[in-house]
């Protein structure tokens, strides 16, 4: 089987968030799709280990925003490679609340969707949520960020808990154990080196033999 064929599927990049009485969090996902129009329903897929997933299960609501090509990698690093159990991911960003009280980020986003969960499906490593749309708004006319753009232009990596993750195949260099980024242009990492994706220090890198 050629696993590279899966890269030919079209994906976007989205910030999925939820909140309950205990807190709020969000994570980056690449699976958000409209499945019906009357009523308007979306599906969102999130890894079982994500704190955001547990919030959605408890609260029964979620917000999703579509990233644009202008979205800073710092935002993707904050929401894609850190756990909401350890840090408040929203603390460094301007946050707004949707009608369900769920926080979302407006800047550099193309659109925002508020949903009430009407069904969920356990698909193994992930939970698929079916959400009925309660509100939606256009936030920007900037081009949306596709997964291909994220990899080819932004040089982004895929976290291990993403459904499209594939193990790295590089044969030399250094791999970040946090986000999987591979530095293959240096023979040695400087002492002050930080990962360009998740901003972790040199110490989290391991050599690739």
Contact residues for 169 (Cβ-Cβ < 8 A; gap 6+): none
Q: Give one word for 60, left, alpha or beta, with left for phi > 0 and alpha for psi -120 to 50.
A: left
pLDDT of residue 147: 81
pTM of the predicted protein model = 0.78
Q: Is 42 helix (H, G, I), strand (E, B) or coil?
A: strand
Whether 95 and 79 have beta carbons less than 8 Å apart is answered as no
For the residues of 111-166, what is the DSSP string, one character each?
EEEEEEEEEEEE-SSEEEEEEEEEEEEE---SPBPBHHHHHHTS-----TTSTT--
- Give the bridge partners for 14, in sequence order: 29, 66
- Predicted confidence band at 153 (pLDDT cuts at 50, 70, 90)? confident
Domain 10-149, what fold? Pnp Oxidase; Chain A (2.30.110)
Please report which helix (H) or strand (E) contains residue 174, including its range. Answer: strand 173-176
Higher-confidence residue of 77 and 159: namely 77
pLDDT of residue 76: 87
For the residues of 81-92, what is the DSSP string, one character each?
SS-TTTS-TTTT
CATH of 167-209, picked from 2.20.28, 3.40.50, 2.40.128, 1.10.10, is 2.20.28
Q: What average pLDDT does range 145-169 have in this prediction? A: 64
pLDDT in tens, 20-31: 998 999 999 999
Name the residue ranges covered by the structural domains of the chain: 10-149, 167-209
Among the listed ranges 32-36, 66-70, 154-158, 175-179, which one has the minimum average pLDDT value?
154-158
- Predicted confidence band at 112 (pLDDT cuts at 50, 70, 90)? very high
Q: Is the pLDDT of residue 157 over 70?
A: no
Q: Is 201 helix (H, G, I), strand (E, B) or coil?
A: strand
């Amino acid at each position: 089987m050629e696993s590279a064929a899966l890269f030919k599927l079209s994906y976007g990049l989205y910030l999925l968030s939820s909140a309950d009485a205990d807190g709020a969090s969000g994570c980056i996902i690449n699976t958000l799709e409209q499945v019906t129009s009357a009523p308007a329903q979306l599906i969102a897929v999130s890894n079982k280990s994500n704190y955001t997933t547990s919030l959605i299960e408890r609260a029964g609501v979620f917000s999703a925003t579509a990233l644009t090509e202008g979205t800073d990698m710092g935002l993707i690093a904050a929401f894609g490679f850190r756990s909401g159990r350890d840090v408040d991911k929203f603390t460094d960003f301007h946050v707004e609340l949707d009608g369900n009280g769920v926080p979302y980020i407006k800047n550099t986003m193309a659109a925002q969707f508020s949903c009430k969960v009407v069904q969920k499906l356990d698909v193994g490593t992930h939970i698929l949520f079916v959400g009925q749309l309660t509100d939606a708004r256009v936030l920007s006319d900037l081009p949306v960020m596709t997964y291909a753009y994220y990899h080819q232009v932004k040089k982004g990596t895929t976290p291990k808990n993403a459904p499209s993750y594939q193990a790295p195949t590089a044969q030399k260099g250094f791999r970040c154990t946090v986000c999987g980024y591979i530095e293959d242009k240096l023979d040695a990492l400087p002492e002050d080196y930080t990962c360009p994706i998740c901003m972790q220090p040199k110490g989290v890198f391991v050599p690739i033999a």
